[in-house]
Amino acid sequence: MRPGNRLAIGMERVLPPLALFSLVVLLWYLATEVIWDRPYRLIPGPGQVARAAAENAGRLASAAGLTAAAALCGFALSLTAGCLVAFGFSQSRILQRSFYPYAVFLQTVPIVAVAPLIVFWFDYGFQSVVVVSFILSLFPIITNAATGLTAVDANLLELFELYNASRWQVLWKLRLPHAVPYLVAGARISSGLAVIGAIVGEISAGYGSERFGLGYIIFQTSGQLKTEELFAAVLASALLGFGIFAAVSRIGEALAGRWQSY
């Protein structure tokens, strides 16, 4: 592929969402700063949000850094623990049957309800935020990796049996490689959830006012009705989530590129 071509294809992918973004911002601007041009607004205009973001750029950036650190720690824990649990599930039906309902429990329990417990066990601070992020992002890793390890084509298993493959060979040469694309898909979902988890964690089990993440800013500014700053923090969270999701997707594509099935 020629570089010019690639650029053209890149533009084709980037232009439509960019155009939509501009349109939404324009409508938002018209609605809030032209048509409903009153001193008090439920929704701040894009100009005001941009100004608030610029004024608080340093604060937002350091908060985003802390949130990102917590999210990445939670995500890394999920990847590690999720793979181990999935591996256990794939090796023993009984293990899977016994533990699966509790894995579902992790997925369905309202995190706000257990947040006091987490604070009780881990105290306020970074570690509790990481725990919330971990709990929220664990499930997709477990289910996807377990599916990848177990949902192997029956004929392939027969093929390995036919050549007297050991359990170890079936695992190493068939199940694990088969699970890679599943794990990558799970990791993509999980990475986004880890960011959400970090922000929810900061709101429910976060830090004091000396060190704070985006969740704290969102919590604080909403209490004080500083909607411009609140919007700026929400946008920063969205950007952070998007950035981490995009990075994980990229790494996943690079890892699992040749796994595409036929």
Partner 1 sequence: MVFPGGLEALQGIHLELQAGEFVSLVGPSGCGKSTVLRMMAGLLQPTTGDVTVAGLHPRRARREKQDVSFVFQEATLLAWRSVRDNVRLPLELRGIPARQASESVQTLLALVGLTEFEDAYPRQLSGGMRMRASIARALVTRPDLLLMDEPFGSLDEITRQRLNEDLLALWMRDRWTALFVTHNVYEAVFLGGRVLVMSARPGRLVGDFDVPFQYPRPGTLRADPDFARLAGKVSDCLREHA
Residues 91, 146: Cα–Cα separation, whole Å: 10
Piece in contact with partner 1 (CB under 8 A), picked from 74-82, 104-112, 139-147, 167-175: 167-175
Token output for 175: 């199940």
Q: What is the 3-state secondary structure (H, E, C) of 126-153?
A: HHHHHHHHHHHHHHHHHHHHHHHHHCCC
In the complex, minimum distance from the CB of residue 174 to partner 1, in angstroms, rounded to a whole number: 7
* Residue 80 in contact with partner 1, rule: CB under 8 A: no
- Smallest separation, CB 253 to partner 1 (Å): 14
Is the dihedral angle over the CA atoms 62, 132, 129, 255 positive or is it negative?
Answer: negative
Q: Is 164 in the site for partner 1 (CB under 8 A)?
A: yes
Tell me, by CB under 8 A, how many residues bind partner 1: 21
163/156 Cα distance (integer angstroms):
11
Contact between 185 and partner 1 by CB under 8 A: the answer reads: no
- Rounded CA gap, 239 and 247, in Å? 12
Should residue 6 be labelled a site residue for partner 1 when binding is judged by CB under 8 A? no
Count of C-beta atoms within a 10 Å radius of residue 188? 18
- Which one, 108 or 261, has the nearer CB to partner 1? 261
State the Cα–Cα distance between residues 223 and 92, nearest whole angstrom. 50
Q: Is 161 in the site for partner 1 (CB under 8 A)?
A: yes
Query: 203-242 mask for partner 1 (x: CB under 8 A)?
Result: ----------------------------------------
Of 110, 209, 254, 262, the residue at the interface with partner 1 (CB under 8 A) is 262
**Which residue in the set 126, 134, 139, 160 belongs to the binding site for partner 1 (CB under 8 A)?**
160
How many C-beta atoms lie closer than 10 Å to residue 245's C-beta? 19
Residues that bind partner 1 (CB under 8 A): 153, 155-156, 158-165, 169, 173-174, 177, 180, 258-262
